[in-house]
C-alpha cells in the first residue's frame, strides 16, 4: 500500500468532503452528482465554512496534487474515486500503522 502523506488540515477537509458525498448518496444522488462540488460547496458544511477561503483553496490544491480531487478554475471541484477510496481505507491504514508499531517494539524484545 502506497503511503500518501497529507497535512492534518487536508485530512480533515477530505474527511468532511467524503461525509458530504456519502450524505448526498444516501439522499439518492448519483455517484457522479454526489462527487461534484460547486465553488460555494463549503457553505454546505459548518466545518468547511469556518476555514478561511484562502486556506481552503490551499488545502484543495494539496488534495488536487495528491489526486484525490479535480480542482476547477472556478473554485469548484470533483471528488475523484481515489479520494473516496482513500477515505474508505482510513481504518485499514490506521490498523496497519498500529501493526507496524507493534512489530517494531517486538523486534527490540528479542
Average pLDDT of the segment spanning 55-75? 96
Q: How confident is the model at residue 44 (pLDDT cuts 50, 70, 90)?
A: confident
Which own/partner pairs from 51-54 qualify as long-range (CB within 8 Å, at least 24 positions apart)?
51/9, 51/13
Average pLDDT of the segment spanning 65-89? 95
- Overall fold of domain 8-108: Arc Repressor Mutant, subunit A (1.10.10)
Average pLDDT of the segment spanning 25-41? 95
Cell numbers 465554512: residue: 49
Average pLDDT of the segment spanning 9-38? 97
Query: Would the pTM count as exceeding 0.85?
Result: no
Q: Are 49 and 40 in contact (CB under 8 A)?
A: no
* Residues making up the chain, counted from first to last: 110
Q: Are 25 and 18 in contact (CB under 8 A)?
A: no
Amino acid at each position: 500500500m502506497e503511503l500518501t502523506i497529507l497535512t492534518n488540515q487536508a485530512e480533515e477537509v477530505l474527511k468532511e468532503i467524503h461525509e458530504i458525498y456519502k450524505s448526498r448518496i444516501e439522499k439518492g444522488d448519483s455517484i457522479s452528482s454526489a462527487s461534484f462540488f460547486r465553488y460555494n460547496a463549503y457553505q454546505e458544511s459548518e466545518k468547511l465554512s469556518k476555514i478561511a477561503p484562502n486556506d481552503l483553496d490551499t488545502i484543495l490544491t494539496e488534495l488536487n496534487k495528491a489526486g484525490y480531487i479535480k480542482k476547477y478554475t472556478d473554485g469548484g471541484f470533483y471528488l475523484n474515486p481515489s479520494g473516496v477510496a482513500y477515505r474508505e481505507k482510513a481504518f485499514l491504514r490506521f490498523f496497519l500503522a498500529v501493526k507496524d508499531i507493534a512489530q517494531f517494539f517486538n523486534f527490540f524484545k528479542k
